[in-house]
Amino acid sequence: MMLISILQVILIFVLPVFLLYVKIIPFKYRLHVLFSIFLIVIAFVILEGITFSDLGIRFDNIDGHIFPYILFTILVSLAIIYLSKYVLKREHYIHYWHDKKYHILIFIPLCFLQEFIFRGYLIPKLFEIFSSSLIVVFINAILFMFIHIIYSVKRMDLVLIFLEGFLLAMIYVFYPNLIFATIAHSIHNFIAIFFKFFINEKA
């Protein structure tokens, strides 16, 4: 069981990104690869009989989980704003969402797709390999950062992605709700892009 889980993690979360990074798969197909990963995950979800509840798509724990996610979303949002304005001195890109209207159409679905893959599916899979929550959260954050190298090679961007992935994984482990995780992820991404993170794509 553990060996199968390790192979699944490598084949789904490591190999495709590596092939993009070394340009065996052309960069222009990055979204195709991400969608293919999603389809593969869906296939395993069906084959393994994983339920919506197992994936964190649930409504029975809303009352007990909403406050931690609200607090988490607000605190991380304020941290991103403070870091961007006063530490990194980044200019905001107020016209981005006006200039890139079509991005809004895929923004939240893309965040849900990432949360579904990395939190809903990957975290339980990692728990089949490791017993330590801290190790699971750390590896989840590393793999979450790893897939983003196909979008950006800026070190600061990748550091922030790792921290975001670590915090999202941490709160998800204790409060597993994919809906709230997606909302938090979407808000944080919206603010990050407002301050010009992740805009200059890898050539």
Q: What is the 3-state secondary structure (H, E, C) of 112-160?
A: HHHHHHHHHHHHHHHHCCCCCHHHHHHHHHHHHHHHHHHCCCCHHHHHH
**CB-based contact 157:197 (threshold 8 Å):** yes
pLDDT tops 80 at residue 14? yes
pLDDT tops 60 at residue 96? no
Task: Give mean pLDDT, residues 89-118.
Answer: 73
**According to the model, what pLDDT value does residue 49 have?**
95
Q: Sign of the C-alpha dihedral, residues 134, 130, 181, 13?
A: positive
State both tokens at 195. Answer: 């301050």
**Phi, psi at residue 11, to the nearest 5°?**
-70, -35
Q: Model-level pTM?
A: 0.88
**According to the model, what pLDDT value does residue 200 have?**
53
The residue extents of the domains of the chain are 2-194
pLDDT tops 50 at residue 203? no
**CB-based contact 57:51 (threshold 8 Å):** no
Mean pLDDT of the chain: 87
Task: Give mean pLDDT, residues 70-99.
Answer: 81
**According to the model, what pLDDT value does residue 144 have?**
94
Give CA angle at 151 (185, 21), nearest 5°.
130
**According to the model, what pLDDT value does residue 176 have?**
96
How many residues comprise the chain? 203
Residues with Cβ within 8 Å of 152's Cβ and at least 6 positions away in sequence, in order, are 158, 197, 198, 200, 201, 202
